[in-house]
């Protein structure tokens, strides 16, 4: 413990001994504090009482709040920050994936098959093999997988394993049969059934074409959802995450969060966004039960315009370089998209909509602009989820319309390995345009898209400030002009995300009266080389004034 801290503690205990009553802090944290508050960006300590920040100041100021029962935490050479928020997660899906077969880093078709064989050997006949998050771009030549690869190693189990972006999946023959899909099946609007040269199904299904398989996958039991949620919360807390936006949330996930809250086991604050198509049920539920509170908030609805770049289903103006007959998919029919967004806005719901390709983003901005003009002024905080490929004009328009770009920087580190084979230089120039969006005046929000990408905020911060790719082949950064500063990345993970869920009055900064959501890292990431950011670990995570994780 450093000498100034010892002296401050001695002073605090002496003062506390002279004071009657229980006015002391529950927790006092000493160390380098990045508050996120521009009125006092740096501090040496903070005090917590109940669920709120009591005081922020130097060690002597905080020592005055230390009593005999105050827990004192010394950060040492670490860094104290507002708890990280993640703007875009598939939260319970991530919890389930922690127990599913993991194919993310399988670097060859042979390894892909080996892992599925080993996982299948642990299952009973008839049990589904799900999850996976495979990435064919890691394989030599990047071939798409085929059902024939896995049929022989999964004779007794239906399989539906998804690409890491969630916009493409591989079904084995047993799963295709259960779903009623065959070579005679018609194409499905908003999706693609991939076939070989003879017309036979390869097992790969894209976007809406995955629907028939999802329809026959057994729904998890409530206790299974509760278990997945518990695992997801523990994993998030271990990374310093204290709040998430759970997008495409199922009603089973909503119910699981409510059960966790009632049981006193909820350790991650959540803003829930069920499907846009279900806007009426969301509106009715909010009318009957209210939107929620600081722990659980039924926030709005989540829609889709297009697919993903990795699945060649993101919607672009130009065709793909490697699939010149394709320019992507409109996943939701345009008339439905316009009608649902308009109806949800009329009901007072927040709209957050997935758009990846430049054409998808332009279409969504057109709809947002039209709805806002038609319905009149209101604090809507429309969000574009991903906002991945933007024209220069639409970067400006996002800021002018007050639309919030909700982005996931690790995707840049991932996609940068192979995007040049798929899209053209002008499209690449507007890819993950963090710097341009901030310079235009937009409020940039960050997250992970877990389970699509790893949940760790350190990976996202590293990707945003270095623009390095995970293959190490862009040492100067991929599209380096879009790098941002560390402070800007931290704000995107804290105060900007609080604003994105209408929670900025009490979250996202460390200041008196704010909710006591805090993370203590094991090192000061401002003082290490940018490439070392990913080595940082959360030592303590505090949510609502309670330590929910310590290493």
Where does 356-481 show beta strands of DSSP type E? 383-386, 404-407, 445-446
How far is the C-alpha of 275 from the C-alpha of 289, rounded, in Å? 18
CB 163 within 8 Å of CB 157: no
Instruction: List, for the chain, all residue ranges whose pLDDT scores fall below the cut of 70.
Output: 1-22
The per-residue pLDDT for 17 is: 41
The per-residue pLDDT for 12 is: 47
Scan for tokens 């990045």, then name that residue: 34
Q: DSSP letter for 121, please.
A: T
Q: Are strands 538-543 and 546-550 parallel, antiparallel or unpaired?
A: antiparallel
How far is the C-alpha of 265 from the C-alpha of 277, rounded, in Å? 31
Q: DSSP letter for 292, please.
A: B
Instruction: Give the contacts of 22 (CB within 8 A, at least 6 positions apart).
Output: 67
The per-residue pLDDT for 23 is: 80
Q: What is the rounded (10 degree) CA torsion for 523, 529, 535, 540?
A: 20
The per-residue pLDDT for 548 is: 98
Strand ordering across the sheet containing 300-304: 300-304, 350-355, 383-386, 404-407, 445-446
Q: 507: how many CB neighbours lie within 10 A of its CB?
A: 23
Token pair listed for 327:
């320019």
How far is the C-alpha of 355 from the C-alpha of 454, rounded, in Å? 20
Buried b (16+ CB within 10 A) or exposed e, 331-351: bbeeeebbebbbbbbebebbb
The per-residue pLDDT for 196 is: 95
504 three-state secondary structure = coil
CB 390 within 8 Å of CB 359: no
Does domain 91-214 match CATH 1.10.540.10? no
Picking from 88, 112, 108, 139, the residue whose alpha carbon sits closest to that of residue 418 is 139
Where does 252-364 show beta strands of DSSP type E? 269-273, 296-298, 300-304, 350-355
Scan for tokens 């109806």, then name that residue: 343
Picking from 342, 400, 347, the residue whose alpha carbon sits closest to that of residue 372 is 342
Domain ranges of the chain: 1-83+508-551, 91-214
Scan for tokens 């105060």, then name that residue: 495
* DSSP β-bridge partners for residue 445: 406
Q: 187: how many CB neighbours lie within 10 A of its CB?
A: 11
Q: DSSP letter for 540, please.
A: E
The architecture of the domain spanning 1-83+508-551 is Roll (2.30)
The per-residue pLDDT for 516 is: 98
The per-residue pLDDT for 16 is: 45
How far is the C-alpha of 465 from the C-alpha of 169, rounded, in Å? 32
How far is the C-alpha of 48 from the C-alpha of 502, rounded, in Å? 23
Instruction: Give the contacts of 187 (CB within 8 A, at least 6 positions apart).
Output: 193, 209
The per-residue pLDDT for 19 is: 43
Per-residue CA distances from 422 to 142, 321, 383, 433, 502 (Å): 13, 5, 26, 18, 37
443 three-state secondary structure = coil
H-run or E-run covering 93: helix 91-97
* DSSP symbols for 345-359: HHTTPEEEEEE-SHH
The burial of 239, by beta-carbon neighbours within 10 Å (0-12 exposed, 13-18 middle, 19 or more buried), is given as: buried
CB 193 within 8 Å of CB 181: yes
Token pair listed for 491:
């704000």
């Amino acid at each position: 413990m450093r000498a100034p801290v010892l002296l401050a503690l001695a002073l605090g205990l002496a003062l506390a001994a002279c004071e009657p009553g229980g006015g002391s802090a529950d927790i006092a944290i000493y160390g380098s504090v990045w508050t996120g508050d521009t009125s006092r960006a740096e501090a040496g300590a903070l005090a917590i009482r109940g669920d709120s920040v009591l005081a922020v100041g130097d060690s002597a100021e905080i020592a005055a709040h230390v009593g005999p029962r105050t827990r004192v935490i010394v950060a040492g050479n670490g860094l104290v920050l507002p708890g990280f928020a993640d703007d875009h997660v598939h939260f319970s899906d991530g919890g389930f994936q922690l127990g599913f077969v993991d194919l993310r880093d399988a670097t060859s078709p042979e390894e892909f098959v080996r892992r599925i064989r080993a996982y299948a050997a642990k299952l009973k006949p008839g049990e589904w093999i799900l999850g996976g998050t495979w990435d064919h771009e890691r394989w030599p030549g990047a071939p798409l997988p085929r059902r024939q690869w896995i049929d022989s190693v999964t004779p007794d189990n239906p399989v539906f394993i998804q690409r890491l972006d969630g916009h493409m999946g591989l079904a084995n023959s047993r799963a295709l049969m259960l779903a009623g899909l065959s070579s005679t099946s018609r194409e499905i609007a908003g999706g693609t059934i991939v076939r070989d040269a003879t017309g036979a199904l390869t097992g790969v299904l894209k976007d809406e074409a995955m629907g028939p398989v999802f329809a026959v996958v057994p729904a998890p039991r409530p206790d299974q959802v509760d278990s997945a949620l518990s695992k997801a919360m523990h994993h998030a807390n271990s990374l310093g995450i204290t709040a998430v936006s759970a997008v495409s949330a199922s009603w089973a996930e909503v119910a699981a969060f409510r059960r966790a809250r009632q049981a006193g086991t909820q350790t991650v604050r959540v803003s829930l966004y069920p499907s846009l198509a279900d806007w009426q049920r969301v509106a009715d539920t909010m009318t009957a039960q209210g939107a929620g509170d600081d722990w659980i908030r039924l926030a709005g609805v989540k829609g889709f315009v297009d697919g993903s770049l990795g699945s060649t289903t993101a919607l672009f103006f130009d065709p793909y370089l490697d699939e010149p007959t394709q320019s992507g998919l409109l996943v939701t029919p345009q008339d439905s998209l316009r009608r649902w967004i308009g109806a949800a806005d009329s009901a007072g719901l927040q709209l957050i909509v997935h758009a990846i390709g430049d054409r998808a983003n332009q279409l969504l901005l057109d709809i947002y602009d039209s709805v806002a003009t038609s319905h009149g002024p209101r604090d809507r905080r429309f969000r574009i989820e991903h906002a991945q490929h933007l024209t220069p004009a639409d970067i400006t328009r996002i800021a002018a319309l007050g639309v919030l770009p909700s982005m996931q920087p690790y995707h840049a580190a991932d996609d940068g390995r192979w995007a040049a084979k798929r899209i053209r230089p002008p499209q690449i120039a507007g890819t993950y345009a963090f710097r341009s969006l901030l310079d235009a005046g937009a409020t940039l929000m960050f997250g992970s898209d877990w389970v699509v990408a790893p949940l760790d905020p350190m990976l996202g911060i590293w990707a945003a400030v270095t623009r390095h790719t995970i293959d190490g082949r862009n040492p100067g950064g991929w599209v380096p002009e879009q790098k941002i500063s560390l402070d800007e990345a931290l704000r995107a993970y804290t105060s900007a995300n609080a604003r994105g869920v209408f929670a900025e009055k009490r979250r996202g900064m460390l200041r008196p009266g704010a909710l006591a959501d805090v993370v203590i890292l094991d090192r000061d990431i401002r003082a290490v080389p940018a490439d070392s950011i990913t080595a940082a670990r959360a030592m303590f995570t505090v949510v609502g004034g309670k330590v929910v994780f310590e290493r």
